[in-house]
Structure 1
Amino acid sequence: MKSTTKDYRHIQFCDDRSQVDIKQLQTLFKLAAFWARERCSEDLEIAVANSNPIVTAWDGEEMIGFARGTSDGIYRATIWDVVIHPDYQGGGLGRKLVETVLSHPLMCRVERVYLMTTHQQKFYERIGFEYNQSTTMVLYNQPMESLPRTEHNSVNQTADAVSIGG
């Protein structure tokens, strides 16, 4: 009987942000990440530049996995945008991707690591995450141009507007 288990020993994991190929990342998101299908390359470049660690998975020259984190290095961290190409799912690569992020020096000492997921709770529970209903809140930021201008949110207030000693 022939084994149906795929051999992924040749897959390479990389935590060098400079190796992220934004075009391949866009393709990967379009294939496997419903929440990130419409992200433009300029925004992805900003997200990558402001995230640490970044972990990618490679089959030769093809990026087949991606995850990124943000962390203060001691108290809190968040894992973002975990994605594995559909042809490579189910073979433990997603788990290895997350574990590689978690083992990074900026992540491994933090008190709590957060992530958000719509459909993959069971996957993350197998890695050690716990469902937490009570701590997640969200603020849908508006672009600064769309906010009404008031004296409270004006960034250009001058010292003239403040009465000193008068």
Structure 2
Amino acid sequence: MRIYFNNDKKINRDQLEKLYNDVEWYAYTQDLEVLQQAIEQSLEVISAWSGEELIGLIRVVGDGLTIIYIQDILVLHACQNQGIATQLMQQVLQKYKNVRQKSSIDRRCPDVRHFYEKNGFQSCDKGSLVSFAKMD
């Protein structure tokens, strides 16, 4: 499978719905207009494509100078474990290498712990960091 990456934030709503539903992130697809607006208003979006099919995406919010927050990183189930998420993450980390604070919260732990650790992230439950979240 030949994969290419794109930085265009204008992504077809049906493609977004298919990707987010495939990874069971249904909260995002309850209102597709809001999802599309969130994508377009993000600091950075890198998408992964196989032909015309959206197969992965990473979305970054923040100021891009002192903090970035990796809001979403997802890959179609059929395309997982092929290094696509790692390539997406590495592109973000390279672009924002001078940003001191890079954060992400992922509810799928411990399934994704290894992924974040191999990309240089430290779990807040294992060090001197503390993380708080308010989910409404």
Normalised to the residue count of structure 1, the TM-score between the two structures is 0.71
Using the TM superposition, give the Cα deviation of residue 33 of structure 1 relative to its aligned residue in structure 2, in angstroms.
3.7
What is the match of residue 158 of structure 1? none
Any runs of at least 4 consecutive aligned residues in structure 1 with deviations exceeding 4 A, and if so which?
Answer: none
Q: Is the 8 A contact 2:29 2:35 kept in 1?
A: no
Using the TM superposition, give the Cα deviation of residue 37 of structure 1 relative to its aligned residue in structure 2, in angstroms.
5.5
What is the match of residue 66 of structure 1? 57
Amino acid in the other structure paired with 2:78: D
What is the match of residue 130 of structure 1? 122
What is the match of residue 31 of structure 2? 40
Normalised to the residue count of structure 2, the TM-score between the two structures is 0.85
Q: Is the 8 A contact 1:30 1:36 kept in 2?
A: no
Structure 1 gap segments, 5+ residues each: 1-7, 142-166
Q: Distance in 2 between matches of 1:53 and 1:137?
A: 23
Amino acid in the other structure paired with 2:21: K
Partner SS state of residue 92, structure 2: helix
What is the match of residue 90 of structure 1? 81
Distance 1:84 1:37, change over 3 A: same
* Matched residues, number: 130
What is the RMSD of the two structures over their aligned residues, measured on CA atoms? 1.8
- Identity among equivalent pairs (%): 26
Larger Rg: 1
Q: Is the 8 A contact 2:43 2:64 kept in 1?
A: no
Q: Kindly provide the CA deviation profile for residues 78-136 of structure 1, in whole angstroms up to 9, marking residues without a partner as x.
A: 001110011111111110011112223xx232101000112211111111111013432
